[in-house]
Amino acid sequence: MTGGGPAVELAAAVRSGERHAVDALEEYLAAIAESDERVHAFNHVMTDQARAAAAAVDEVVAAGRDPGPLAGVPVALKDNLCTRGVPTTCSSRILDGWLPPYDATVVTRLRDAGALIVGKTNLDEFAMGSSTENSAFGPTRNPRNLDRVPGGSSGGSAAAVAAGFAPLALGSDTGGSIRQPAALCGVVGVKPTYGVVSRYGLVAFASSLDQIGPFGATVGDAAALLDVISGHDAMDSTSLPSAPPSAAARLTAGVEGLRVGVVTELTTVEGIAPEVVARVRQAADALAAAGAKVEDVSVPAAVYGLSAYYLIAPAEASSNLARYDGVRYGLRVPGVDITEMYNKTRAAGFGAEVKRRIMLGTYALSAGYYDAYYGQAQRVRTLIIRDFEAAYDTFDVLLSATTPTTAFEIGAKTADPLSMYLSDLCTIPSNLAGHPAMTVPFGTGADGLPIGVQVLAPALGETIMFQVAAAIEVAGRAQEAAVR
Ligand code: GLN
């Protein structure tokens, strides 16, 4: 077992002076120049800034100082993370021309760790979607098959890592937007415990659910990135004050004696393809063979996750997106008076899915309906938390499918929002609970496209979650080698 991956290896080579950050960066920029026209992972490539940052890292090494744990590693950022003076669009027309006056905390931490920000990646507008087709700038394509979606909403970040445009990327996950595209693109994606990573500078979608998290080609790379961005931040009032758990601490510890539960409601329910269920079972068997105690477990309220989410997330979104009114940010379409200006700006600036969410959320919060919809959804949320906590009395971690199927065709679900929403069936419960969860690639489907297995853990259980994910990664590779 190794604890690394391309990012960890590159950082070690740059720190030791064996490789120059500027040279490594040029290889990644060349890959972007060569293929991103077809994939469209990026909204904006920060070539000059990345080159300057790489040269600065090489100077620090030459001066005999430590450039940091991610020295010289290119990182792609979802375009809803604020970068000072660099366009941050959320893939929406409404932010046309807006330049953030500050960096998100995660961006500052990346720079301090010696990482190179290479660009801003495409997403579903304001992170609302599961395919990256709801972007004002056109869809991203899955690098493993250009006719398929990369998943969403962080599809650009997942595609950037899968295509080799950057060894690492950051996304945001409100209902699955890191894990779902990671699974469909065949990379590792992590939603940390709510409060472990600062949300300062993440453009808000649903504030009680949003978390920033890493993408990497391997479990070890994702762990290294999470360890750099996690930790308390006074600028985010929901940031946890305690020291964050280490993601990388036990990657090679194995799973002997650990208790693993396979969640019935998130694995064998209608709609999840048999080939996906089979991969979850194989991963569970591999853990059992490595010494874990594996059993099925029921988390009954998990089945209500999707319904509760589609009240809570739009409700919070309708409130968060009220600020885009043509006065302070980006686009303004003039009108005869201020009401007409608001109306014209919002009509022109937002896409159809964002408008649908704002309307649903406004309705759910309106007087007379508040308790029946929003209040009821919050009570369901409490039930979900309780059921997961009960499962964690008996199990250290849980396993499930990440997505119901492999990547679907571009255009297959755009006309039917409900079928699109079902893509996040297995990922949403962890956001409602605030617990961490991650996806690891484990084999492929009949179409040759990747399948991900989801590892879920209790709040602040990142160390053990990564430990189990690393064991699944090793088993998956051994299986692949045996097939060849
Ligand atoms: N696909 C879900 C939605 O559309 C989740 C999005 C996310 O996690 N940002 O809301």
pLDDT in tens, the chain (484 residues): 456 899 999 999 999 999 999 999 999 999 999 999 999 999 999 999 999 999 999 999 999 999 999 999 999 999 999 999 999 999 999 999 999 999 999 999 999 999 999 999 999 999 999 999 999 999 999 999 999 999 999 999 999 999 999 999 999 999 999 999 999 999 999 999 999 999 999 999 999 999 999 999 999 999 999 999 999 999 999 999 999 999 999 999 999 999 999 999 999 888 899 999 999 999 999 999 999 999 999 999 999 999 999 999 999 999 999 999 999 999 999 999 999 999 999 999 999 999 999 999 999 999 899 999 999 999 999 999 999 999 999 999 999 999 999 999 999 999 999 999 999 999 999 999 999 999 999 999 999 999 999 999 999 999 999 999 999 999 999 988 887 7
What six digits make up the tokens of 26?
């040029």
Report CA(53)–ligand 1 centroid distance (Å): 32
| Sheet containing 450-456, strands listed edge to edge, beginning at the edge strand earlier in sequence | 42-45, 116-121, 74-78, 168-173, 211-216, 188-191, 437-444, 450-456, 397-401, 259-263, 293-297
Which atom of ligand 1 sits closest to the CA of residue 353?
4
Number of the ligand 1 atom closest to the C-alpha atom of 357 = 10
Report d(CA 169, CA 438) in Å as an integer. Answer: 15
Number of domain units in the chain? 1
pLDDT at 337: 97
Rg of the chain on CA atoms, in Å: 21
User: Is residue 427 lining ligand 1, measured as CB closer than 6 Å?
Assistant: no
CB 313 less than 6 A from any atom of ligand 1? yes
- Residue 133's CB: how many other CB atoms inside 10 A? 22
Answer yes or no: is the C-beta of 127 below 6 A from any ligand 1 atom.
yes
What CATH number did the domain enclosing 116 receive? 3.90.1300.10
pLDDT at 479: 87
| Tokens matching residue 304 | 């209500």
Ligand 1 binding pocket mutation candidate from 121, 177, 207, 354 (most atoms within 8 A of CB):
177
Query: Is 368 part of a structural domain of the chain?
Result: no
How much distance in Å is there from the Cα of 291 to the middle of ligand 1?
36
CA 124 to ligand 1 center in whole angstroms: 9
Domain assignment present for residue 412? The answer is yes
**Does residue 312 belong to any structural domain of this protein?**
no
Distance CA 338, CA 361 (A): 23
For ligand 1, atom 5, the nearest C-alpha belongs to: 175
Domain membership of residue 366 (yes or no) is no
- pLDDT value of residue 262: 98
Q: Does the residue 268 lie in any domain? A: yes
Q: Supply the pLDDT for residue 1.
A: 41
Please list the residues that pair with 450 across neighbouring strands.
444
In a domain, 282, yes or no: yes
Are β-strands 168-173 and 74-78 bridged in parallel, bridged antiparallel, or unpaired? parallel
Secondary-structure breakdown of the chain: helix, strand, coil percentages, each rounded to the nearest 5: 45, 15, 40
Phi/psi for 141 (5° steps) reads -110, 150
Q: With H, G, I as helix, E, B as strand and everything else as coil, classify residue 279.
A: helix
**Residue 195 in 3-state DSSP?**
coil
Mutating to test ligand 1, I would choose from 123, 128, 184 the residue with most ligand atoms within 8 A of its C-beta, which is: 128
Active site residues: 78, 153, 177
Domain that holds residue 420: 6-301+385-483
Q: Pocket of ligand 1, candidates 134, 172, 174: which has the most ligand atoms within 8 Å of its Cβ, to mutate?
A: 174
CA of 147 to the centre of ligand 1 (A): 22
Q: Does the CB atom of residue 189 touch ligand 1 within 6 A?
A: no
Please report whether residue 97 resides in a domain.
yes
Distance (Å) from CA 210 to ligand 1 centroid: 10
What are the CA-CA distances from residue 379 to residues 298, 308, 423 (Å)?
Answer: 19, 9, 23
Ligand 1 atom at minimal distance to the Cα of residue 154: 9
* Cα 70 to ligand 1 centroid, rounded to whole Å: 29
129 Cβ below 6 A of ligand 1: yes
Distance from the alpha carbon of residue 204 to the mean position of ligand 1, in angstroms: 12
Q: Residue 81 falls within a domain, yes or no?
A: yes
Of 153, 184, 439, the residue with max ligand 1 atoms within 8 A of its CB, to mutate for a pocket test, comes to 153
